[in-house]
Amino acid sequence: MTALSRLLRERGDLERGEGLARKAAATGHGPALSYLSSILRERGDLEGAERLAHQAAAAGHGVALSELSRFWRDRGDLATAERLAHQAATVGVTIALSELAERYRENGELEEAERFARHAAAADNTMPLIDVAEALRKRGDREQAERVARAAADAGSSSAWELLVLLSCERGDLFEAEALARQAADIGVVPALVTMVKFLLDHGELASAERIGRAAASYGDIDALIKVAEFHREHGDLEEFARIVSIAEIYTSNADERRPQPLLPAVSTSSEDWRPLQIPDSVNSQDVAAASASVSQALERLFLRLGPPPATAHAGIEPTRGGDGGVA
């Protein structure tokens, strides 16, 4: 019935369309009540629209309350917008809270943005907190950015761990950055290690980048090692490129035998007792030598993925080819 109502309204038959919408809403169906609320809002009956929105929310459909919140927000009545956003959140619709946080963030009012972002996080939507933390970071307020990112991490955001690692790197505390990255990996956020590898590569710390990349690979994610290999390839060092690929190949071929061991206790990010652990590299030069037979296959796969080496590469080196394709 609601679909037919929409069709009639699209064709300009507003009266019949609204009549059908009212019949559908009379059944107490949440989406139908929300739809009728939107009709009343469009024609200016805001009191009736809110009444129906509350009925829809009581039926488990809070979208109308969220849309009304947006309506009042766009007209500058932020108090009403906030009231309706909170009411929508009680039935699981947090987009209005997120949009209010975004509005304040875009206006540079980061304290208000954080307030709404925390409300959204309490309703299991942590992205507004990450956005606020990023805004604080870009403004140069790293201390406040870390505080907000930690709140997001404590609320369950995996992206927050990556941001915390990056913030620690940017203030030069690689010791803490590694501790955080390994702690994150222990709870399943292996991309935090990849984030650190990217930073280290950007700053020319190749040995450290390889070491952290191996740590990520021990958790089953070779993306960090691939980034190290790509770095060497882009700079024309195909010897190092081949060596890193061979290490990645070892981790890939032995993935079923490798299982990450706990590196740090899973504690809240608010703990002041982080301690990075010094662990031996999982793969050494003997591992690389033992894998030499599989290096050509690894190179073939990686060359297929990355394309030919850059023009600056050593002219005398030929990439490995196989019968099923490769680099021409």
Name the one residue in this structure whose structure tokens are 């280290």. 200
199 and 327 inside one domain: yes
Residue type, 23: K
The residue out of 127, 155, 183 marking a domain boundary is 155
Q: What is the CATH number of the domain that holds 54?
A: 1.25.40.10
109 and 185 inside one domain: no
Alpha-carbon gap, residue 93 to 123, rounded angstroms:
8
The string of pLDDT tens digits covering residues 231-252 is 999 999 999 999 999 998 888 8
Domain count, the chain: 3
181 and 64 inside one domain: no
109 and 194 inside one domain: no
286 and 138 inside one domain: no
The residue out of 46, 77, 93 marking a domain boundary is 93
76 and 110 inside one domain: no
254 and 302 inside one domain: yes
Given a cut of 60, whether residue 171 has pLDDT beyond it is: yes
The string of pLDDT tens digits covering residues 250-301 is 888 765 454 444 333 333 444 344 333 333 344 444 444 444 444 445 555 5
178 and 150 inside one domain: no
207 and 293 inside one domain: yes
- The DSSP string of 141-171 is -HHHHHHHHHHHHHTT-HHHHHHHHHHHHHT
Structural domain boundaries enclosing 123:
100-155
51 and 109 inside one domain: no
Alpha-carbon gap, residue 272 to 185, rounded angstroms:
19
226 and 260 inside one domain: yes
Whole-prediction pTM value?
0.64
211 and 295 inside one domain: yes
